[in-house]
């Protein structure tokens, strides 16, 4: 086995044994109660999943294996002369549960370089779609085309012992992560750069090479990609992309099928597509107001108009967070360091001043603060990446790190088929009439 695989297996065996004991001794303990409102309202606040890679706190935001984003920026290895973490290190941390050394990170980089070959039929499949097809659709179609390469599917068909599922998922996850930047860059260059493709540079790290293949050689854009790929990677297990990947994987659908399901969820405007919606919304505001530098008062009026039209203000609010998303703050810091005078970035900061009090005044929005998507687009536009329909693909490439690390854990811990119980409103009415036994087992 490879070095990381060995380390992972040793950790997973220990955790698996701990869970066994824990369930034997405490399996019947109650961890909470479920109200009727919760089952009608998106299961908000119901703890129903175990995800080892990261944990979200409503007040302080995401921690990856216990580390906040500023801590990762300090502790994870960087590219030569760089100051942002290499996402290879975050993947190692999420998978193995320990901070990596420089050597561990170089090892992940070289494994992904070795495994990054994308077969021609994947490019042919992308080419079969009209060039105007939304990049997220092209991305999901390409992931499905890559499924021909699944080791898990082949080994399962040949009759794999269930003890080996994790091993095949591990290999598929590494292959898929290694291939995604090439696929995503291909879609970008196909749709926006007349199909003028750029070959990979095998000397670069995963994010640096991704930037290079998309056509961005500026060193500070590469740093942005390293930060971007790090902060979008994981957000505990209940978000739509992570939960979909986990759910579909629980049917023993292979990592390609499972990840494609997650990406279909990420493509929704209340989830990952919000990053394109933010820039689209700002462009529409600038167009309508006839200025590239709207004042705070003009922004406030535009926000009120958006709400009156029955639309959401993209980039604001969250199902769990109740404070400014630390991923927003990390990007704001990047903006202050690299482009403090950029008018679009400054507009994002003025929106941050204007929006929360208005959303708060409505009295129904649980979190008036910005999420990760409120900031990301403006940084990309600064470097010339103005094609906002592509932004969710960047989010997706990053999200592969968290959801696929989790999928490896799911199989190593032998998590079963996920199948919660549902009820009908008729049944709820019978319960309200006194038939307590209807909830059954």
By the rule CB under 6 A, 371 interacts with ligand MLT: yes
Binder of ligand MLT out of 7, 190, 235, 375 (CB under 6 A): 235
What is the nearest approach in angstroms of ligand MLT to the Cβ of residue 272? 7
The reply to whether 117 belongs to the active site is: no
Q: How far apart are CA 423 and CA 329, in angstroms?
A: 41
Binding to ligand MLT by CB under 6 A, coded x per residue (else -) over 252-291, reads -------------------x--------------------
Site residues for ligand MLT, window 66-125 (CB under 6 A)? none
Terminal-residue alpha carbon distance, the chain? 42
Binder of ligand MLT out of 319, 378, 385, 407 (CB under 6 A): 319
Here the tokens at position 437 are: 């036994």
Q: What is the DSSP code string of 352-375?
A: HHHHHHHHHHHS--S--SB-THHH
By the rule CB under 6 A, 239 interacts with ligand MLT: yes
- By beta-carbon proximity to ligand NMX, the closer residue of 260 and 274 is 274
What is the nearest approach in angstroms of ligand NMX to the Cβ of residue 232? 8
Q: How far apart are CA 225 and CA 255, in angstroms?
A: 24
Which residues 6+ apart lie within 8 Å of 233 measured at CB? 64, 87, 90, 91, 94, 398, 399, 401, 402
Residues at the site binding ligand NMX, with contacts judged by CB under 6 A? 270-272, 274, 307, 312-319, 364-367, 371-373
Q: Using CA atoms in the order 434, 438, 439, 441, what is the torsion angle rounded to 10 degrees?
A: 140
- Choose, from 212, 232, 246, 271, the residue flagged as catalytic: 271
- By beta-carbon proximity to ligand NMX, the closer residue of 315 and 326 is 315
What is the nearest approach in angstroms of ligand NMX to the Cβ of residue 276? 11
Q: How far apart are CA 39 and CA 240, in angstroms?
A: 16
CB of 244 closer than 8 Å to CB of 410: no
What is the nearest approach in angstroms of ligand NMX to the Cβ of residue 236? 12
CA angle 208, 210, 216 (to 5 degrees): 75
By the rule CB under 6 A, 230 interacts with ligand MLT: no
The reply to whether 318 belongs to the active site is: yes
The reply to whether 107 belongs to the active site is: no
What is the nearest approach in angstroms of ligand NMX to the Cβ of residue 352? 13
The helix (run of H) or strand (run of E) holding residue 107 is: helix 102-114
Active site residue ranges: 271, 318, 373
Residues that bind ligand MLT (CB under 6 A): 235, 239, 271, 319-320, 371-372
């Amino acid at each position: 086995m490879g070095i990381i695989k060995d380390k992972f297996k040793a950790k997973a065996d220990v955790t698996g044994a701990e869970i066994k004991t824990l369930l034997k001794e405490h399996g019947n303990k109650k961890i909470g109660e479920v109200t009727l409102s919760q089952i009608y309202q998106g299961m908000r606040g119901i703890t129903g999943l175990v995800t080892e890679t990261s944990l979200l706190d409503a007040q302080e935001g995401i921690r990856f294996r216990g580390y906040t984003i500023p801590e990762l920026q300090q502790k994870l290895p960087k590219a030569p002369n760089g100051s942002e973490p290499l996402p290879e290190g975050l993947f190692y941390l999420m998978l193995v549960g320990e901070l990596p050394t420089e050597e561990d990170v170089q090892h992940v980089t070289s494994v992904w370089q070795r495994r990054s070959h994308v077969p021609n039929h994947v490019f042919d499949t992308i080419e079969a779609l009209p060039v105007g097809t939304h990049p997220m659709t092209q991305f999901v179609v390409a992931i499905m085309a890559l499924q021909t390469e699944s080791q898990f599917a082949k080994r399962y068909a040949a009759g794999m012992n269930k003890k080996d599922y994790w091993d095949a998922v591990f290999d598929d996850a590494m292959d898929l992560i290694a291939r995604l930047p090439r696929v995503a860059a291909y879609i970008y260059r196909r749709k926006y750069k007349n199909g003028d493709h750029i070959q990979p540079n095998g000397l670069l790290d995963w994010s640096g090479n991704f930037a290079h293949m998309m056509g961005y050689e500026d060193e500070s854009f590469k740093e942005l990609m390293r930060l971007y790929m790090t902060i979008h990677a994981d957000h505990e297990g209940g978000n739509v992309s992570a939960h979909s990947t986990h759910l579909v994987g629980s049917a023993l659908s292979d990592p390609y099928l499972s990840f494609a399901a997650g990406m279909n969820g990420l493509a929704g405007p209340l989830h990952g597509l919000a990053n394109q919606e933010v820039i689209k919304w700002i462009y529409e505001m600038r167009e309508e107001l006839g200025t590239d530098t709207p004042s705070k008062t003009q922004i406030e009026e535009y926000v009120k108009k958006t709400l009156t039209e029955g639309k959401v203000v993209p980039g604001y609010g969250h199902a769990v967070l109740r404070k400014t998303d630390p991923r927003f703050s990390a990007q704001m810091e990047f903006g202050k360091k690299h482009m403090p005078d950029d008018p679009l970035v400054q507009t994002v900061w003025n929106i941050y001043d204007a929006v929360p009090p208005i959303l708060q005044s409505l009295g129904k929005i649980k979190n008036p603060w910005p999420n990760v998507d409120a900031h990301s687009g403006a940084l990309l536009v600064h470097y010339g990446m103005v094609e906002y329909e592509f932004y969710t693909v960047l989010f997706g490439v990053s999200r592969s790190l968290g959801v696929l690390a989790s999928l490896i854990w799911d199989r190593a811990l032998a998590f079963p088929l996920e199948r919660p119980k549902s009820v009908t409103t008729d049944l709820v009415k019978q319960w309200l009439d006194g038939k307590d036994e209807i909830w059954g087992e």
